Amino acid sequence: MVRTTAPERADTADKKRKESHHHHEVFSAEKAGQLDTRLRRLLYRPDILAERLVKPGDHVLDFGCGPGFFTREFANQVGDGGKVIAVDLQEGMLRILREKMEREGLMKRVMIHQCTPDSIGLPPAFDGTVDVACAIFVVHEVPDPTRLFWEISRLLKPGGLFFYTEPFYVVPGREFREHLKEAENAGFEVVKRHLFFLNRAAHLRKAV
C-alpha cells in the first residue's frame, strides 16, 4: 500500500479541483459572426449594460472583446474624453473589431491590444489607470484565471469596477463561486452577484 501524507493528499485534492476547471476551447474567430447578432442584442442589451457600468470619460478594459459586440457600446458611452482598451488573443477577432469601429466612427476612442494566452501584457504605464474592467464570456477559455484576476486588479484604479460573467451552460455555479474567491484573493470585493440574462455574473470592486 502506498501511504500518502496529509500535505500530499491536500495537494492531490487541489490538483483534482483545478483539473475539474479545465479551461475550454477558445471561441474561433471563424465564428465571430455569431457574436454580433440581433438576437444577442435583444437578449443582452449591451447598450443598457454600458450605461450602467460606464461614465463619460472612463477608461474601460474589455478583456476578451471578440469582434466588439460590447466594445461598441462601451465606446459609445465613454465619449470623446474616454477610452476603451479592447484586448483579445486572436488577431482575427481584432481585425473584425477594427473594421467595425472604423465604420462606425468609434476607432478614436478604442485602443486595440493583442495579448497572449497567459497574460494581458499591457505596459506598466497602464497600471492603476482603468475605471471599469469587463470579462464577458471569456474567463472559462483562459488557462490561468487566478493570474488574470491579479492582472486586472493591477490595471484598475483603487475602487475600480470589475464586471465578470460566464455562460451558465458552460461554467457550473461551484466553479463560478471558486473563481470569485480567487478574485477576492486578488484584491476584489464582490459587490453583488446577479444573473446577466441567464448567465452567472458579478460586480466586483477593487479595494480602495
Ligand X SMILES: C[S@@+](CC[C@H](N)C(=O)[O-])C[C@H]1O[C@@H](n2cnc3c(N)ncnc32)[C@H](O)[C@@H]1O
**Please, which residue, 111 or 189, has the CB nearer to ligand X?**
111
Among 60, 69, 84, 101, binds ligand X (CB under 6 A): 69
As measured in angstroms, the least distance from the Cβ of 49 to ligand X is 11
Coil, helix or strand for 72?
helix
Task: Report whether 104 contacts 72 (CB < 8 A).
Answer: yes
Sheet holding 110-114, edge to edge: 110-114, 83-88, 59-63, 130-136, 156-166, 199-206, 188-196
Find the distance separating the first CA and the last CA of the chain, reported in whole Å. 52
Closest residue to ligand X, based on beta-carbon distance: 66
Angle (nearest 5°) at CA 55 between 50 and 58: 105
Residue 122 binding ligand X, by CB under 6 A: no
Residue 127 binding ligand X, by CB under 6 A: no
Residue 66 binding ligand X, by CB under 6 A: yes
Among 89, 133, 171, 180, binds ligand X (CB under 6 A): 89
Residue 93 binding ligand X, by CB under 6 A: yes
Stretch that binds ligand X, among 10-18, 86-94, 151-159, 196-204 (CB under 6 A): 86-94
DSSP, res 142: -
**Please, which residue, 3 or 22, has the CB nearer to ligand X?**
22
Helices (H), 21-144: 38-44, 46-53, 71-78, 91-103
Among 35, 54, 75, 78, binds ligand X (CB under 6 A): 35
Coil, helix or strand for 47?
helix
What is the binding site for ligand X (CB under 6 A)?
26-27, 35, 64-66, 69-70, 88-90, 93, 115, 117, 136-138, 141-142
